[in-house]
Amino acid sequence: MSDKLHKNPVVVEHARAALETFRSHSKSLGYATILTTDGFEVASIAGDAQQTRRVASMASSMQALGDAVARDLKMGTCDYIIIAAPSGYVIQLRVPGYDLVIAAHFDSAETLGKALSVARLAANDMAQVSVAAAAA
């Protein structure tokens, strides 16, 4: 299914709307992208085209590594990954029910808890796209 989600206009439009809502919930959100688990960008806010392709590819690889570690440790699937750095956080979460991931960068003004909370809201918002639209 993921190989077509990034080409589905209904999914792409819903992703754009979900990201705009996401941005309205956090002033410290600097960049966000929704990508397929195999590394294709669906929609992004901020960043240039080259950056969005690069981040989608890296985030897909990180998700696969997280899944491999979780599977090896018999933890189940990797639901989210957090990267913390002096200038902020990158949080990436699976979109429930879809082969999609949200990757988002927050500056250091945001608390990790709030960043994770608003990222979860965005993932759940994205999950509301209709199954019929996603399958088209």
Torsion of CA 22, 40, 99, 117, to 10 degrees: -20
Residue-range definition of the domain harbouring residue 39: 2-135
Number of compact structural domains in the chain: 1
pLDDT, one tens digit per residue, over 79-114 is: 999 999 999 999 999 999 889 999 999 999 989 999
Q: Give the pLDDT of residue 130.
A: 54
Element housing 13 (H / E): helix 9-25
Q: Write the CATH number for 129.
A: 3.30.450.30
Distance from the Cα of residue 76 to its chain's centroid: 19
Distance CA 92, CA 109 (A): 18
If we measure between CA atoms, which residue out of 95, 93, 91, 82 comes closest to residue 134?
Answer: 95
Residue 128: pLDDT band by 50, 70, 90 thresholds? confident
pLDDT, tens digit (0-9, with 9 covering 90-100), for 2-56: 558 767 777 888 899 999 998 999 889 999 999 999 999 999 998 777 888 888 8
Banded model confidence at residue 116, pLDDT cuts 50, 70, 90: very high
Confidence of residue 1 (pLDDT cuts 50, 70, 90): very low
Phi-psi sector, 49: left (phi>0), alpha (psi -120 to 50), beta: alpha
Element (H, E) at 64: helix 49-72
Asked if 102 contacts 45 with a C-beta cutoff of 8 angstroms, the reply is: no
pLDDT, position 51: 82
Confidence of residue 132 (pLDDT cuts 50, 70, 90): very low
